[in-house]
Each structure stands twice: as structure tokens, then as C-alpha cells.
Amino acid sequence: MGVRAPARGTGLGRRLLSALIDTTPGGRAWLLTWNQAHDTLAFYRRVGWREPEPLPGRQTDIVVFLSPPDS
């Protein structure tokens, strides 16, 4: 999923994530993103998505997010 620069700040990203969550069992979802996508990471955190504790082992450049618990 992505939102082009001209549409950023319009609430489109929030609406897309809400639509995604609304269609999942129990309103739960997860997503993956690149650890260098700093604006994206900040956006997901700002809208309530949370990173689970990473499993021990090899580090990757992928960040996992879980949807907000009361979505």
C-alpha cells in the first residue's frame, strides 16, 4: 500500500488502513515495511499500529506492525 505525495496529509492513508482492518476477522491485521522508510514508520506509529517484540535471531531490514487493538 502506498499514498502518492500529493495525497499525503489528506487522511487517505488512515482511511485505507481503516478499510483494511474493517475487512479482517476480529479487526486484526499486520503489515511489513522497510526499516529505512522513516516517514512510513512514523505514520504507522502515529495512527496506532504497534511493533511486536522481535524474535531472537537474525536481524532484518523488515519491520512488522500489528493493527491497533481496539480497531
Q: What is the pLDDT of residue 64?
A: 94
pLDDT at 71 over 60: no
pLDDT at 69 over 90: no
Higher-scoring residue by pLDDT: 60, 58: 60
Contact between residue 63 and residue 52 where contact means Cβ atoms under 8 Å apart:
no
Q: What is the pLDDT of residue 65?
A: 96
Give the model's confidence band at 61: pLDDT under 50 very low, under 70 low, under 90 confident, else very high. Answer: very high
Distance CA 35, CA 69 (A): 22
- Mean pLDDT over 33-54 rounds to 94
